[in-house]
Structure formats: C-alpha cells, structure tokens
Amino acid sequence: MKGSHSGQRSKPRPGSKSPESGSRPTVEKPAADLPDGDILGDDHDQDVTPDLALDIDPEALELPAGRGCLGLVATPIGNLGDISARALDWLRAADIVACEDSRVSGRLLQHFSIAKKLIIYHDHNAEEVRPVLLRHLQQGARLALISDAGTPLISDPGYKLVRAAADAGIKVTALPGPSAPVMALILSGLPTDRFLFAGFLPVKSTARRQVAAELAAVPASLIFFETAPRLTDSLADLAAILGDRPAAVARELTKLYEEVRRGSLSELAMHYRNAGPPRGEIVLVVGPPALETDVAFDLDAALRQALAGLSVKDAAASVAATSGLKRRLVYARALELARTVAVEPEDEPQDR
Ligand code: SAM
C-alpha cells in the first residue's frame, strides 16, 4: 500500500503539542479513559475551555504498552484551517492511518507535514482489510481512521470497524470536528431540535419519491446529500411528496464559494431550474412537516372533551399524558379554552 510521505518534520501548530518534537510521541488519552467530568464535566453550565483538555499531563496520556486504540479523526470538509489540534496530535502519534483514498489523505497529511503508513479501507475492500486493521490494533497499534473529508463514518465506511474493535475490547475514541450535514443544518435556519440524516437521495425519481414518502411523517428536519446535476429534480420530487416545505441548499461549505440558499422546496426548484445546477458539493435540508396546526386542532378537541368532566388541571394532565405533549403547553392551552367558556382555572368542572 502506497502512502504519501513527506519526510519533513512537523511544524508546530497553535494550540497543538507536536509529539515529533520530543523523543517519544505522545498521544491524547481517549476521553473514554478519563474519569467522568475530567474534561467536559457534568455541569454544562460551567465555562469549559479547550485549555482544560490540553492541561492534562502528557505523561498521563500514554496508552499502556501493548494496548491498541482506534481513533476516529475528523478532517476538514474544505477549509484546512478546520482541523483540530487534537486531530493533528492524534494523526502525528498514530502508527497507522486508515483512509479511503491514499491520494486525498496523502495530500492532507502532507499539508501538515505528517508522514504515516496509510492503509486503504473503503466499502469495496472492507471485508478483507478489517481483520488486518484489527490485528494491528490487537498488537498494540494506534490506528487513526479518517475519511476523504469530514467526520468518518458519516456516510463513509467505518462503523463495522468500530463494532469489531469494541467487540474485541479495543479502546475506541473520536477526535470530533467538521461534518457537512451538521454544518448545513445549523446554517439552514430550520428547526434543529430534531433532525434525521438520510444520506444520499436515490438517483432515480421513483425511488427518490418513495424515500420521501417514507420520511413524510417524520416530525424532524431532514438532511440529505445531493449532487449538483440532480438537485433541481430532487427538489421538485420532494416538493411533490412532502408538500412545499421550507428548505435550504447548503453548498461548498467552509470553501471560497460557500452559499446557503433558503426558500420553499418549489421556490428552490424553480431557482435552480432557471439558474442552472450549482457547482460543488451540496447538502439539502428540509423542514419538518407543519404539525402545529393539526396538533392545535386535535389538542383543542381533546381538551374540550376532557374539560367537560375534569378541572383544568386534571384535564391538562390527562391530555398531556395521552398525547405525549408537554404538560406546560397543554395546561396553557387548557386555561385559554377554559377562559373562553368562563371556567376559572381550578374550578370544578361545569356541565357542557
Ligand atoms: N463524512 C463527511 C462529513 O462528515 O461531512 C460526508 C461524506 S459524504 C461521502 C460526501 C457528501 O458530503 C458530499 O457528496 C456532499 O453532499 C457532502 N459534503 C461534503 N463536503 C461538503 C461541503 N464542503 N459542502 C457541502 N456539502 C459537502
């Protein structure tokens, strides 16, 4: 297996300790090895700075001899400045880097003056190569798994390696970082409290529409990967099946021509039909179904029925329990309904 070897010493990067500058490479101890709360703590309200993680005594970060570790290392999705200090430390300390394409990853490693043995691991050779990687891990290797771009395993090979390593009692950790679907979601302006990442949409319209139909009732924002030539047809298919929901097309994220275009599915389809397919890499985000009106309608009906025999409080509690809606929300609506029929909040029920 050929890799890219620059043979140069690593340049120190801001915030990163270069293991190559000392006599022995060091490795960040995987978070899983630290007692709860040592890095991030349990209290999310506390101020947490990256320094906390970097303050750990490097000696304490050495893995016990003979124990392998699998690190899932996120790499940039366009802008090389997005690689993290921990990712670089891990890559520098790794014995082996498993990657999808040695040319793509070779260029990345060369940029950071990292020379490593590369092993190609992709969908087509995974069954043969996984046992080899496992053997290296069992013999004590530090293995970094990277993909062509972004977070490995997200629409990229890797989960079976994680499962196999975990089953073999090998430590697995992740060096988190860029991921196109999450970046697109947070830029979309669409609800982020629930989302479903659905990978690539099918190439053919019939299959695409079928996928859309399967996802139509999911009460969450939907995230898809799409290619530029298919974007317009996919937007039109989604509009036909999901209705004209709000959506966003996120393109060339972190790159020079980064763009996020927001609009309804049919507006976006019309835009790209007129303007022609955009260039570059694309993530499509679609808003959740407009459930609120239906929920309000059903909620009102359920509450009116409950209020006919119960106090406001009990009616709200009962409807919240059966609907799964938040108690506070249901109680607020029950109060409003009760007022319109002149029921005091905690009055005894009236006949209706
Ligand atoms: N593992 C990657 C991640 O975490 O972002 C995703 C890999 S997936 C095989 C490749 C797809 O991700 C592309 O076809 C495109 O849809 C999306 N993608 C990757 N980089 C992107 C970028 N810079 N801007 C927009 N979409 C991107």
Q: Write the pLDDT tens digit of every residue in 81-120.
A: 999 999 999 999 999 999 999 999 999 999 999 999 999 9
Give the whole-angstrom CA distance, residue 257 versus residue 237: 27
Rounded to the nearest angstrom, the distance between the alpha carbon of 150 and the centre of ligand 1 is 7
Give the whole-angstrom CA distance, residue 194 versus residue 207: 25
Confidence of residue 324 (pLDDT cuts 50, 70, 90): low
Ligand 1 environment, Cβ below 6 A: 77-78, 147, 149-151, 154-156, 179-180, 225, 250-255, 281-283
Confidence of residue 340 (pLDDT cuts 50, 70, 90): confident
Q: Same structural domain for residues 74 and 206?
A: no
Q: Same structural domain for residues 70 and 192?
A: no
Q: What is the pLDDT of residue 225?
A: 98
Q: Same structural domain for residues 71 and 109?
A: yes
- Return the ∠ at Cα 11 (arms to 7 and 17), rounded to 5°: 115
Q: What is the pLDDT of residue 264?
A: 97
Q: Same structural domain for residues 153 and 102?
A: yes
Give the whole-angstrom CA distance, residue 64 versus residue 97: 20
What is the distance, to the nearest Å, from the Cα of residue 108 to the centroid of all Cα atoms in its chain? 22
Confidence of residue 66 (pLDDT cuts 50, 70, 90): low
Q: What is the pLDDT of residue 341?
A: 63
Rounded to the nearest angstrom, the distance between the alpha carbon of 195 and the centre of ligand 1 is 17
Give the pTM.
0.70
Instruction: Among 75, 155, 186, say which to mutate for ligand 1: greatest number of ligand atoms within 8 Å of CB.
Output: 155
Name the residue at shortest CA distance from atom 19 of ligand 1.
Answer: 180
Tens-place pLDDT, residues 232-280: 999 999 999 999 999 999 999 999 999 999 999 999 999 999 999 999 9
CATH of the domain at 162: 3.40.1010.10
Q: What is the pLDDT of residue 319?
A: 80
Rounded mean pLDDT of the chain? 81
φ and ψ at 49, to 5 degrees? -115, 155
Give the whole-angstrom CA distance, residue 202 versus residue 213: 13
Q: Which domain holds residue 198?
A: 181-286
Q: Same structural domain for residues 162 and 36?
A: yes
Give the whole-angstrom CA distance, residue 341 versus residue 312: 12
Last residue within a domain, chosen from 286, 309, 326: 286
Q: Same structural domain for residues 96 and 121?
A: yes
Last residue within a domain, chosen from 178, 211, 234: 178
Q: Same structural domain for residues 223 and 313?
A: no
In angstroms, the Cα distances linking 330 to 303, 345, 350 are 8, 13, 19
Q: In the block, which residue shows the tokens 């890799």?
A: 3
Q: What is the pLDDT of residue 28?
A: 32
In angstroms, the Cα distances linking 206 to 19, 209, 233 are 53, 5, 11
12 part of a folded domain: no
